[in-house]
Structure 1
Amino acid sequence: MITYNKIILAGGNGYLGGVLARYYSPLAREVIILSRTAKPADGNIKTLHWDGCTAGEWTASLEDADLLVNLCGKNVNCRYTEANKAAIIRSRVVPTTLLGTVITHLQKPPKLWINITSATIYRHAEDRPQDEERGELGYGFSVDVCRQWEEAFFQTDTPRTRKIALRMGIVLGRSDGAFPRLLNLVKCGLGGRQGNGKQYVSWVHEQDAAQCTEWLLTHNDLQGIINCTAPEALTNTFFMQHIRQAIGIPFGLPSPAWLLEIGATLIGTETELILKSRWVLPQRLLDSGYPFLFAKAEHAIKDLLRIRG
């Protein structure tokens, strides 16, 4: 049943953009992906060209949209060289600033603008969960990226467009992201704890990542900063254990921090992505009554394995 007029996914040509496009396709008259490469239409999903830096013909597509989701950003799964750092920041701040400027000039701007930011903005937390009210921001490059990103988002006054910075946890999906890589480690016998295993993993199933955006769209009282993670975070030790149990592998070799550092250097990434403890609580979603499809990791993992099979 068609419920919405138009859904815009800026930078939506990646994995999460695909999840959102498939979710909204049956619900909207049209879903428009803004991408550096235009593509032929796939049903009611259209892909328009934009460079993320300059206004162009794509700006007209934002008129009278129900929802704009900004997913722009260079993948952080790389070494933090000075060049990569600059590119990571630029790829987030520039498109966000551009969208804000464009929205201020529209006759009928989007009703809601969601900027997909990151739950890594919070400090390394093993003592208590970090929610939207009492959460403490961390330090370091990845936190600086999130700070600048959200500052660019909130600096533009958009009185006719409600805004939400959605601090997303690790999205668990069947085709891309962290889960297939962790699953491969388990299958190779390397599915033990990583580091000391005490770091928390704040995750969200891909279906909840999509469904919660519609929940936010239909709840006009929600705005500002909202965490998007499952309500039950768990330590890396237990997270890996759940994957092993789900596929019937009783044991996995652990990966100490020094070994992870060597491996990260070889494959061109940073150990922070694995070793930082992200214990994040989606308190505002819970308070609003959002019905999580997958609140427990073991249920999410079994579902993904069932879909993959």
Structure 2
Amino acid sequence: MKYKKIVLAGGNGYLGRVLAEYYRYLADDIIILSRRKMPVDGNIKTIVWDGSSESDWVQHISDADMLINLCGKNVNCRYTKIARAEIINSRTVPTELLGKVIQRMTNPPKLWINITSATIYRHAEDRFQDEMNGDLGYGFSVDVCKLWEKAFFDVETKNTRKVALRMGIVFGRADGAFPRLLNLVRFGLGGMQGDGKQYVSWIHEQDAAKCTEWLMNNKELAGVINCTAPQPLKNADLMNCIRNAYGVKIGLSSPAWLLETGAMVIGTETELILKSRWVMPGRLMENGYKFLFPKAEHAIKDILSIQI
């Protein structure tokens, strides 16, 4: 099926590039809303916006088959007072702006997907968390997700279906978490982090993209949907999978205290590594989504086979 127009708000980051490439041959036009101007690349065009005020960009989201909002400051930083405000505002302000614009449009996007985060669920080692029976957690990162989704759902858009896509950790070769884990393996540091019992809910980048197309074509689905692979695994098992796929037998482990020291040095938070995210894609599975990569070992081998 050929789509008329796909809009990626804040689509100049890693996942935005994955989505743009996925839809390159599936859509007539791909519009990226970005703070900086980029050269036209075939049918991929960048429109400048600031994410906080209306301007010429508004006309470009009209009559889109799908709008995907990817806006948000990277959380891979220390949670200082200034950083916390930037993390929250970079998510809620563009979301509120898009909602107000869409609400009064004559021909609004048919589907609006807000990419949120599976970290909204609590630290879970006892049972998996899904859309129906999951427990929301507490702490700053969870508060961010709650405010983000509130900004998304508070605005009624009668003619635009909305999905909050709670994304797991996206695995790909070009950027994101996987290259960093692979580097640890390469340098002999690819053992478990902490006690290794924390669950990692991941998703292959191609499933992250394919899922959005599947949601376009399954028009009865709306609301909160988890976007994670159906077979999450513990940190120790994940690192073992990466070592095996890369051909490295041994990897030094990193205890929690060492991770905290290292996080302070490189300017990040240990929560990104030590929180147990045991999240299941209940609604995707119940409604028949077929994962390209349900198993981590297959996803990892595929990613390692990609030349970049």
Partner of 1:123: 122
Partner of 2:289: 290
Per the normalisation by structure 2, the TM-score is 0.99
Deviation at 1:39, TM superposition (A): 1.8
CA distance in 1, matches of 2:62, 2:143: 32
- DSSP 3-state at the match of 1:171: strand
CA distance in 1, matches of 2:25, 2:96: 30
Q: Does 1:308 align with 2:307?
A: yes
Partner of 1:163: 162
Deviation at 1:186, TM superposition (A): 0.4
Partner of 1:41: 40
Query: Deviations for 1:21-62, whole angstroms, at most 9, x for unmatched residues?
Result: 000110111000000012221100000000000000000001
Pairs within 5 Å for 1:220-239? 220-239=219-238
Partner of 2:86: 87
**Which segments of structure 1 move beyond 4 Å, counting only runs of 4 or more?**
none
Aligned residues: 308
The gaps in structure 1 that reach 5 residues or longer are none
Pairs within 5 Å for 1:64-143? 64-143=63-142
Deviation at 1:125, TM superposition (A): 0.3
CA distance in 1, matches of 2:202, 2:38: 31
Which amino acid is the alignment partner of residue 36 of structure 1? R
CA distance in 2, matches of 1:228, 1:270: 23
Deviation at 1:308, TM superposition (A): 3.5
CA distance in 1, matches of 2:261, 2:100: 43
- DSSP 3-state at the match of 2:39: strand
* RMSD after superposition: 0.7
Query: Deviations for 1:249-304, whole angstroms, at most 9, x for unmatched residues?
Result: 11100000000000000000000000000000001000110010000000000000
Q: Does 1:57 align with 2:56?
A: yes
Q: Does 1:215 align with 2:214?
A: yes
Pairs within 5 Å for 1:198-213? 198-213=197-212
- DSSP 3-state at the match of 1:92: helix
Query: Deviations for 1:79-129, whole angstroms, at most 9, x for unmatched residues?
Result: 000000000000000000000000012110000000000000000000111
CA distance in 2, matches of 1:84, 1:226: 28
CA distance in 2, matches of 1:278, 1:126: 8
CA distance in 2, matches of 1:250, 1:57: 55
The gaps in structure 2 that reach 5 residues or longer are none
